[in-house]
Amino acid sequence: GDSVTQMEGPVTLSEEACLTINCTYTATGYPSLFWYVQYPGEGLQLLLKATKADDKGSNKGFEATYRKETTSFHLEKGSVQVSDSAVYFCALSDRAGNQFYFGTGTSLTVIP
């Protein structure tokens, strides 16, 4: 069945460091791919998404490119800030649009 595997954390970075959180997926057909972010004490909110191969999603300085050939959707940011400290979830939606499949989440802490 469909699934998502993402890099385990926790990840600790200094402010202004580069971030990459790896995410790979298994799916039949062409799913839509998403990154969600969960700030402390809050619900999940959409960070970015891509709905077809080679699409790049971007928001708040974060980017991820839908790579069909490597079945990946890695999250990147060139310079992280303390305010980026959160848990990040990779997810996919199957082609039928019925269900979402989430990775286990990667906790990021950015220190000044």
Q: Of 28, 51, 59, 81, which lies in the binding site for another protein, with binding defined by CB under 8 A?
A: 51
Give residues 8-37 in contact with another protein (rule: CB under 8 A): 31-32, 34, 36
Nearer to another protein, 5 or 71 (CB): 5
Q: How many helices (H) and strands (E) does the chain have?
A: 0, 12
Q: Of 102, 109, 110, 111, which lies in the binding site for another protein, with binding defined by CB under 8 A?
A: 102
Q: Which span (15-23, 65-73, 76-84, 95-103) binds another protein, by CB under 8 A? A: 95-103
**Contact, 57 vs 77, CB < 8 A?**
no
Nearer to another protein, 43 or 112 (CB): 43
> Rounded CA gap, 88 and 35, in Å?
7
Q: What is the DSSP string of 34-53?
A: EEEEE-TTS-EEEEEEE-ST
57 binds another protein per the rule CB under 8 A: no
Residue 101: both structure tokens together: 């499949």
